[in-house]
Amino acid sequence: MAAKTTKMESRLMGTMPEAKLLMTMAVPMMLSMLVQALYNIVDSIYVARVSEDCLAALSLAFPAQTMMISLGTGTGVGVSALVSRALGAGDGKQARRIAGNALFLCLCCWGAMVLFGLFGAVPFIRSQTELSSIRYHGESYLRIVTIGSLFLYFEICVERLLQSTGQTRLSMWTQMVGAVTNIILDPFFIFGWAGLPAMGTAGAAVATVIGQGTGAALGFFFHLRFNKELSLRLADCRPRGHIIGGIYKIAFPSILMMSIGSITNYLMNRILHSFTSTAVAFYGAYFKIQSFFFMPIFGMNSALIPILGYNYGASKRDRIHRTIRYGVLFAAAIMTLGLIAFQLLPEKLLSIFSASETMLKIGVPGMRIISIHFPVAAFCIIAGSACQALGNSMASFINSIMRQVVVLIPAAYLLSLTGNVNNVWWCFPIAEIMSALVSAFFLQRTLGNVDRQIEARTAA
């Protein structure tokens, strides 16, 4: 029955009207991403009520936290791909070995983060600020989330194992329950509700770790209950070099691409701190708010990629082109809403972070300048995913390096030399315009190659 349902769903990817298909598949993933965005922003909202220094501290810890997550998420991409491939080939034994090695890699990733938390968290924060109050809050937060990252890695792992067997709805619930747990616990640990000690940023970190632990526990329950084809034995967890090598052959590009964003945020924090810690605090607040508009598009990408991949394999050229057009249209609509909100309501958006007059003076023009690039970013994100789905995965990687390393950071540094922090924000529209040109080039080239391949198949 499950196999019949899967085949029916696959046929729908080649027959259902493209707009309806895209939204049908994308909406659950977009909702899951919105919950993740809410989880990201709530920590900062509560922490901002403690002090602006606490908000700045979270902004300084964010690049390292992103790097930590990218290691787990990238590894999960490799695990999911290999498990799905083994199951598709009917090799259940190999699939179980891959899943077992994935659990072993969770321990390895956690070990690396424990070492970073013990020996790297302090120098990492101190490399970005000399203010002792911000250092204290940033160091305590980062040390807790890195040392407690075991639950994060196991949560990501079981989510990917569920996705590998088609249990995407259960994976979504795992993410949502973990995020909601964190949101509920935040005020108890940050402000000291119910007789608990008021821990500030450290409390936000504790709530984060507990939320990840809850998600990991639920994910393991779902895995044991529903992933019968991946029932593990202790022997399956024995590390095998060829399996680990295969995982990271797929995972490394994803880890590298996500890490670029982490490095960019780190360098931006250093540039902004040369003006004031308030600029750093605003940058962190902006990042959390913009995720409400970017995260749903990333969820849409998760639906777009298999649709394009299916129709590419089925040689359905017109469906490929229409799906991409609808993807750009829907993404642009979402980002246009973001543009309108940032242009008309910057004060209200920043007020949820208890913004001071100084932050508003920096943040209001900053929000309006940065958001100019939102609709352009919609096209760039969809174009990059389309290239990836159609076999040109290097396009996204090259574009990401061009946008962030070659243009964004150099432009931010040069604009900072004007002595006006509000000029720095123009680096985002500048970088996005360049990214749009590169994205258009790669998309046109990729679609041209796909069209020629389909024509050759049809002729043959």
Write out the two tokens for 290. Answer: 């913009």
Report which of residues 2 and 89 the model is more confident about.
89
Do 191 and 245 fall within a single domain?
yes
Q: What is the pLDDT of residue 441?
A: 96
Write out the two tokens for 453. Answer: 């391949």
Q: What is the pLDDT of residue 332?
A: 96
Q: What is the pLDDT of residue 8?
A: 45
User: pLDDT of 303-344, one tens digit each?
Assistant: 787 788 778 877 888 989 999 999 999 999 999 999 999 999
- Mean predicted lDDT score pLDDT of the chain: 89
Q: What is the pLDDT of residue 31?
A: 81
Do 24 and 126 fall within a single domain?
no
Do 333 and 283 fall within a single domain?
yes
Residue 28's pLDDT band, with cuts at 50, 70 and 90, is confident
Q: Are 346 and 426 in contact (CB under 8 A)?
A: no
Instruction: Collapse the DSSP code of 148 into the 3-class scheme (helix H, G, I; strand E, B; otherwise coil) and give the result.
Output: coil
Q: Are 178 and 217 in contact (CB under 8 A)?
A: no
Do 208 and 177 fall within a single domain?
yes
Residue 157's pLDDT band, with cuts at 50, 70 and 90, is very high
Report which of residues 216 and 35 the model is more confident about.
216
Q: Give a yes or no: residue 267 inside a domain.
A: no
Do 249 and 152 fall within a single domain?
yes
Instruction: Collapse the DSSP code of 227 into the 3-class scheme (helix H, G, I; strand E, B; otherwise coil) and give the result.
Output: coil
Do 232 and 371 fall within a single domain?
no
User: pLDDT of 108-126, one tens digit each?
Assistant: 999 999 999 999 999 999 9
Do 292 and 346 fall within a single domain?
yes
The conformation of residue 51, written as its DSSP 8-state character, comes to: -
Q: Which amino acid is at 266?
A: Y
Q: What is the pLDDT of residue 277?
A: 93
Residue 6's pLDDT band, with cuts at 50, 70 and 90, is very low
Range of the domain at 142: 51-261
Q: 276 — phi, psi (to 5°)?
A: -170, 155
Q: Give a yes or no: residue 71 inside a domain.
A: yes
Distance from C-alpha of 394 to C-alpha of 438, rounded to nearest angstrom: 12
Distance from C-alpha of 38 to C-alpha of 253, rounded to nearest angstrom: 28
Report which of residues 394 and 279 the model is more confident about.
279
Q: How much of the chain, in percent, has pLDDT values that exceed 70?
A: 96
Distance from C-alpha of 318 to C-alpha of 22, rounded to nearest angstrom: 15
Q: What is the pLDDT of residue 4?
A: 43
Total domains in the fold of the chain: 2
Q: What is the pLDDT of residue 327?
A: 94
Closest C-alpha to 121, from 28, 208, 205, 224: 205
Q: Give a yes or no: residue 176 inside a domain.
A: yes
Q: Give a yes or no: residue 44 inside a domain.
A: no
Q: Are 256 and 61 in contact (CB under 8 A)?
A: no
User: pLDDT of 29-58, one tens digit each?
Assistant: 788 778 777 877 888 889 999 999 999 999
Report which of residues 54 and 5 the model is more confident about.
54
Q: Are 189 and 206 in contact (CB under 8 A)?
A: yes
Do 292 and 190 fall within a single domain?
no
Q: Which of 261, 291, 325 is the last residue of a domain?
A: 261
Q: What is the pLDDT of residue 280?
A: 95
Q: Which of 202, 230, 261 is the last residue of a domain?
A: 261
Q: Give a yes or no: residue 42 inside a domain.
A: no
Do 149 and 172 fall within a single domain?
yes
Report which of residues 76 and 285 the model is more confident about.
285
Do 333 and 245 fall within a single domain?
no
Q: Are 129 and 277 in contact (CB under 8 A)?
A: yes
Report which of residues 437 and 33 the model is more confident about.
437
User: pLDDT of 378-423, one tens digit each?
Assistant: 999 999 888 877 878 788 788 888 898 899 999 999 999 999 999 9
Do 240 and 106 fall within a single domain?
yes
Q: Which of 261, 291, 313 is the last residue of a domain?
A: 261
User: pLDDT of 160-191, one tens digit each?
Assistant: 888 777 677 788 889 889 989 999 999 999 99
Is the sign of the CA dihedral 316, 317, 321, 327 positive or negative?
Answer: positive
pTM: 0.85
Q: What is the pLDDT of residue 12?
A: 63
Side-chain half-sphere of 395: how many Cα atoms within 13 Å? 27
Q: Is the pLDDT of residue 438 over 90?
A: yes
Q: Give a yes or no: residue 385 inside a domain.
A: yes
Q: 51 — phi, psi (to 5°)?
A: -175, 160
Q: What is the pLDDT of residue 268?
A: 95
Residue 433's pLDDT band, with cuts at 50, 70 and 90, is very high
Q: Is the pLDDT of residue 152 over 90?
A: yes
Q: Give a yes or no: residue 270 inside a domain.
A: no
Instruction: Collapse the DSSP code of 232 into the 3-class scheme (helix H, G, I; strand E, B; otherwise coil) and give the result.
Output: coil
Q: Give a yes or no: residue 206 inside a domain.
A: yes
Tell me what the mean pLDDT of segment 197-201 comes to: 94
Report which of residues 255 and 351 the model is more confident about.
351
DSSP-assigned letters across all residues of 246-295? HHHHHHHHHHHHHHHHHHHHHHHHHHHHTT-HHHHHHHHHHHHHHHHHHH
Instruction: Collapse the DSSP code of 447 into the 3-class scheme (helix H, G, I; strand E, B; otherwise coil) and give the result.
Output: helix
Q: Are 48 and 204 in contact (CB under 8 A)?
A: no
Q: How much of the chain, in percent, has pLDDT values that exceed 90?
A: 59
Do 283 and 423 fall within a single domain?
yes
Q: What is the pLDDT of residue 295?
A: 86
Residue 3's pLDDT band, with cuts at 50, 70 and 90, is very low
Q: What is the pLDDT of residue 11?
A: 57
Q: Which of 92-96, 163-167, 304-308, 443-447 has the highest mean predicted lDDT (pLDDT)?
A: 443-447
Closest C-alpha to 362, from 291, 283, 264: 283
Count other Cβ atoms within 10 Å, centred on residue 351.
Answer: 12
State the angle between helix axes of 168-191 and 150-164 in degrees (0 to 180), rounded to the nearest 10. 160
Q: What is the pLDDT of residue 344?
A: 97
